[in-house]
Structures are given as structure tokens and as C-alpha cells.
Amino acid sequence: MRHTLPIATQFYVTAPQKCPYLDGRRERKLFTALQGEQAETLNNALSKQGFRRSQNVLYRPSCTDCAACLSARIRVADFTPNRGHRKILRRNSGLARVARSAWATEAQYDLFRRYLDARHADGGMADMDVFEFAAMIEETPVRSRVIEYREETAGTERLAAVCLTDILDDGLSLVYSFFDPDRAADSLGTHMILDHIDLAREAGLPYVYLGYWVPGSPKMGYKARFPATEVYMGGQWQALGDPAGYSNRTHPLSVEPIAQQVAQITLPDLRAEN
């Protein structure tokens, strides 16, 4: 099924499949291709409207009977780390940040495999081989970086965590991150978010995009624990507020028809760049 707006950008809908976040739910995505000279402009525009990038595709949840998934971002200027965040930063103070071009390495894939096997063995990415991993990292038509976090122990440098990050015109977008599963107690996922907040502040960027927060999903609960977090809902960004107040987002009547969803998307005038 295809839906088209007045300019060339076309939107498609995936077939429903099992939801990875909420039991008994079915997942469906609205997506469009990200390619050509206007890829950067389109990525910037749709990221502000709750879309996320995966390789050369921009997507947003569009499930038939649930609207729980909400794009989340942190307002950098208003963020102040709490006591727990400060403890995490101290615990990981020995990590060195290394920003690289979007190029996959064997060390990254080895860490990625250990991470999946330990934490997401039954997930949709569990069977990814080294070539698919390389495609996830390298197939990007926009400004992307691989941010590595390394630690030197007894003269040996080890890779502890990795984040694939897009550089938007108004922030940093954490596309995908993974870390050493043996260091679960170090809260490396949270550490990477805290470090990206510092990176965005240094670069003068106002937001850090976290991906989707899913109320009711233990896997995503940590995203609601960051001060100055806001979510994209009803066509606008708004303060997260009380996470407990979002339970009705799983009600089937909260879902708008696909045609209406597409009609509400604001697209840049890509013809002006030709």
C-alpha cells in the first residue's frame, strides 16, 4: 500500500508483525526511502516529527491498534544530571570517547554479538551476520559517526560500548547503541546518553534524540528517567510529565487512519534544492 504527498516523497506501510516491546501487540511501520542529495534535509525534517533512521529508510510506528511508541528527546539546555547520573559518570570515568567515521570493525561486531546474545537473543536482530552489521553501520546517506567508548586495562585497550549517531541540524540522534554485557552494573547505556548530552552541548545543539519510549515496556523504561525529556505526541513535542499517564496510548481508538497520518506530515520543499 502506497501513500503519496504532492512532492516526490512516497510513504509505505509494512505488514503487521509481532511487537518487540508489548506482549500481545502487533507492530506496523510507516516509512519512506532516504536517498539522493536531499537525504540530509529530509532526515532533519522528519526526525523533528517523530521519525527514526535505519540505514537508508526513515520510519515511524503506525500500528493498527496501539499508539504507545513515542519519539523522545532531551532538551540539552534544561538537563541537569541527578544523583544517579552523577554516580554513573564517576563509575565510568575511565572510559575514553573516540569518534570515528561510519565504518564497521571486527571489534565492534564481536561486541555487538556478545550484547545481542546476552540481552536480545530472541529479538529481530539476533541473526544478524557481520555483513548485515556492516550495512547497519555504513549504509548511511546522512552525517553519521560511530562513537566508541574504550578502556585501557593492564596496557590493553578494550572496547566497552558503541553508539551509531546521526548529526542533525538541531541535535544528535542515537540510532543504535550496544555495550559489554559483562558490565551491566555500570549502566553503560545511560552513560552513553549522558555523554551525548555533553557532546551536543559542546556543539551548540539543543537536543539529543533517544529513539522511541514505550510506556509499559521494561526495555524502554530508562528513557523516562532523564530530566528535561519530551515526547512527540499529537503533532508536537511536549514535556514527558508523569510516565504513568500514558497507559491509554495502547487503546485502539487512539490510532488515526494512515491517510490522515501522512497528510499531517510536513515535508521540506526538496525542489528548492535542485
| Mean pLDDT for back-to-back runs of 10 residues, the chain (274 residues) | 59 91 89 91 96 96 88 97 96 95 96 91 79 96 97 85 98 97 94 98 98 87 91 93 76 74 86 56
- pTM for this model (two decimals): 0.91
- Ranges of H-type helices in the chain: 39-47, 83-91, 106-119, 130-138, 188-203, 258-263
Q: Are 243 and 230 in contact (CB under 8 A)?
A: no
Instruction: Give pLDDT, residue 193.
Output: 98
Which pLDDT score, from 0 to 100, does residue 5 have? 47
- Residue-level pLDDT at 271: 65
Contact call for residues 73 and 196 (beta carbons, < 8 A): no
pLDDT score at 22: 87
Identify the pLDDT of residue 219.
80
The pLDDT of residue 6: 45
Beta bridge partners of 57: 33, 54
What pLDDT score was predicted for residue 155? 73
Length of the chain: 274
**Cα separation values, 70 from 30, 33, 83, 133, 220, Å:** 14, 21, 26, 26, 11
pLDDT at 238: 95
For residue 69, count other CB atoms closer than 10 A to its CB: 27
Domains of the chain, start order: 2-72+245-273 (no CATH), 73-210 (3.40.630.30)
